[in-house]
């Protein structure tokens, strides 16, 4: 039986998008010189004009952050800093619906996810770090830990406000000030967050937001007034940043790409595992660094599992991201869509077999149907490269050892999943998998108290939890 759903669009009247935005420097919005358009990827409608930050804009933001660090923020007690973080967290909760709608408009992800996952997690990060601000001496990190000074933070487009929270909350809790650059395709929620900083009466210059493109990001990385870099994005840009800061005293955390393996053993509860695989790769259109983009299935259950997966995928609703029924929204940009199309094409030409359920995709906007490839081998590019879209590559194995070897045979090491009924098998497998985060019988679960980060080309350092705090602190005298 299939149900007909009436559309249930969230009202967009709650958001007030200005025709043009400047930067947020020293507690004020300042005008930019050149601008570029930010669009709604579901409709290609131009939402606003965003300022392109120059070297001089970055200079001003770093100067404001340095002044705020020496004159105000480093002089406040942890308890006082914590009060500002609590205030920000509460305002974010009060304005949650506005943030959810704005994020969905600018990013293309379903309102169900921004409303139920992104924005609640954003508030949770501020609450969590507010609690740490006056307890840093007791975190077991070092004797009387001290902030670095000014943190340069560069974030991507897949979880725009959540990545801002992952970066800004620990930086402020530990006494650092911030210059942050959002991604050029998703700046709007960062600019709304700047309003929250004003509303919370955060001292001027503690948070500065300079919008722009890669040149703006590079100006932040290379600025001599920046003491610590926190970056999330592609491995390629992460390598550039590592090269740029080599030989300087700048500290860095790099959260880069992934090609997560979801290993399903033949004793796994199949329906739960199918649900977990769907969540692992189709959550957020697969624009997730820790996505379970490789399914590694035990041979004996492969045919049945793939059949059940297809039945489940046929029920994924693709369409208007503002519709509360939608499961899979728009691809964030034309550029990203082209990249997904190109790599899926490589999968076809290398001999893997593509399958997608029937989907009515709109002519306007950027769309890609949920897709699986079967008959994938280790040599295929779709088994090795990050597609960063709703595309799952399926491989099979016969012995547990083979599963682990296949799962670990990647330059990345960010996430993995294990599905089995046996606790001993789960414990064995999780210890063999070379990934920063390993989930068992679940996937894509996040919590501010839990450290997150990768091995190998997936990056340096951890964000979240006590480990994440240490990246923003140095040993006290």
What are the contacts of 459-462 at 24+ separation with CB within 8 A?
459/235, 459/238, 459/253, 459/254, 459/255, 459/256, 459/414, 460/242, 460/252, 460/253, 460/254, 461/252, 461/253, 461/254, 461/255, 462/253, 462/436
- Using the contact rule CB under 6 A, the part of the chain among 18-26, 31-39, 237-245, 396-404 near ligand NDP is 237-245
Nearest-CA neighbor of 192 among 314, 96, 63, 277?
96
Under rule CB under 6 A, residue 151 binds ligand NDP: no
Say which residues have a Cβ less than 8 Å from residue 438's Cβ, sequence separation at least 6. 415, 416, 417, 418, 430
Nearest CB to ligand NDP, comparing residues 192 and 403? 192
Per rule CB under 6 A, is residue 230 in the interface with ligand NDP?
Answer: no
DSSP 278-313: HHHHHGGGG--TT---EEEEEHHHHHHHHHHHHHHH
Of 10, 103, 255, 386, the catalytic one is: 255
Report the sign of the C-alpha dihedral through residues 418, 424, 429, 432, in that order.
positive
Q: How far is the CB of 339 from ligand NDP (least distance, A)?
A: 5
- When the beta carbons of 149 and 389 are compared against ligand NDP, the nearer one is 389
Q: Which is nearer to ligand NDP, 216 or 396 (CB)?
A: 216
CA distance 90 to 179: 22
Rounded least distance, CB 414 to ligand NDP, Å: 8
Among 179, 197, 207, 256, binds ligand NDP (CB under 6 A): 256
Q: Mark whether 184 is an active-site residue.
A: no
The sheet that has 150-154: what strands, in order across it?
A: 28-30, 23-25, 207-209, 177-181, 150-154, 228-232, 251-255, 459-460
Active site residue 197: no
* Segment near ligand NDP (CB under 6 A); pick from 70-78, 98-106, 110-118, 227-235: 227-235
From candidates 22, 149, 152, 233, binder to ligand NDP by CB under 6 A: 233
Give the DSSP H or E segment for 277.
Answer: helix 270-282
- Specify the stretch interacting with ligand NDP by CB under 6 A; choose among 59-67, 209-217, 400-408, 424-432: 209-217
Restricting to residues 165-194, which ones interact with ligand NDP according to CB under 6 A? 181, 183-184
* φ, ψ of residue 456 in degrees (nearest 5): 50, -130
Choose, by CB under 6 A, the member of 108, 205, 257, 417 that binds ligand NDP. Answer: 257
- Residue 325 belongs to what H/E stretch? none
Q: Which residue is nearest to ligand NDP (CB)?
A: 217
Q: Alpha-carbon distance 352 to 380, whole Å?
A: 8
The reply to whether 443 sits near ligand NDP by the rule CB under 6 A is: no
Catalytic residue, chosen from 10, 184, 197, 289, is 289
Nearer to ligand NDP by C-beta: 42 or 256?
256
Contact status: 21 vs ligand NDP (CB under 6 A):
no
Residues forming the site for ligand NDP (CB under 6 A): 154-158, 181, 183-184, 213-214, 217-218, 221, 232-234, 237, 240-241, 256-257, 289, 336, 339, 386, 388
Active site residues: 255, 289
């Amino acid at each position: 039986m299939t149900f007909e759903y009436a559309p249930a669009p969230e009202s967009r009247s709650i958001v007030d998008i200005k025709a043009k935005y400047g930067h947020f420097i020293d507690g004020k919005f300042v005008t930019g010189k050149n601008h570029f358009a930010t669009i709604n990827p579901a409709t290609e409608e131009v939402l606003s004009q965003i300022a392109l930050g120059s070297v001089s804009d970055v200079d001003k933001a770093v100067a404001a952050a340095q002044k705020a660090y020496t004159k105000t923020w480093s002089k406040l007690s942890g308890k006082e800093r914590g009060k500002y973080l609590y205030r920000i967290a509460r305002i974010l909760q009060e304005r949650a619906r506005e943030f959810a709608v704005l994020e969905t408009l600018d990013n293309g992800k379903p309102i169900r996810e921004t409303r139920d996952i992104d924005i609640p997690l954003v508030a949770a990060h501020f609450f969590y770090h507010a609690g740490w601000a006056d307890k840093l001496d007791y975190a077991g990190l070092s004797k009387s830990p001290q902030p670095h000074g000014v943190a340069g933070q560069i974030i991507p487009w897949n979880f725009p406000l959540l990545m801002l929270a992952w970066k800004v909350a620990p930086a402020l809790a530990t006494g650092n000030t911030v210059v942050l650059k959002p991604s050029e395709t998703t700046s709007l929620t960062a600019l709304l967050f700047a309003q929250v900083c004003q509303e919370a009466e955060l001292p001027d210059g503690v948070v500065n937001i300079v919008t722009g493109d890669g040149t703006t990001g590079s100006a932040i990385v290379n600025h001599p007034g920046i003491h610590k870099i926190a970056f999330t994005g592609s491995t390629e840009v992460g390598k550039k940043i590592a090269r740029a800061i080599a030989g300087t005293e700048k500290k860095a955390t790099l959260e880069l790409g992934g090609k997560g393996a979801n290993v399903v053993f033949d004793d796994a509860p199949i329906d739960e595992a199918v649900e977990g695989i769907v969540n692992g790769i189709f959550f957020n259109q697969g624009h997730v660094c820790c996505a379970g983009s490789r399914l590694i299935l035990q041979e004996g259950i492969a045919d049945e599992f793939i059949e059940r997966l297809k039945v489940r995928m046929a029920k994924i609703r693709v369409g208007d991201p503002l519709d509360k029924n939608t499961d899979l929204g728009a691809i964030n940009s034309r550029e990203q869509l082209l990249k997904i199309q190109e790599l899926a094409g490589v999968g076809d030409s290398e001999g893997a077999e593509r399958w997608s359920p029937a989907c009515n995709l709109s002519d306007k906007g950027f769309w890609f149907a949920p897709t699986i490839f079967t008959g994938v081998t280790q040599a295929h590019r779709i088994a090795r490269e990050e597609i960063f879209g709703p595309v799952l590559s399926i491989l099979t194995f016969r012995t547990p050892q083979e599963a682990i070897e296949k799962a670990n045979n990647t330059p990345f090491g960010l996430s993995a999943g294990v599905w089995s009924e046996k606790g001993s098998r789960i414990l064995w497998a999780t210890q063999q998998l070379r990934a920063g985060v390993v989930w068992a019988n679940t996937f894509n679960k996040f919590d501010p108290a839990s450290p997150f980060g990768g091995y190998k080309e997936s990056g340096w350092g951890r964000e979240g939890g006590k480990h994440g705090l240490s990246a923003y602190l140095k040993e006290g005298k």
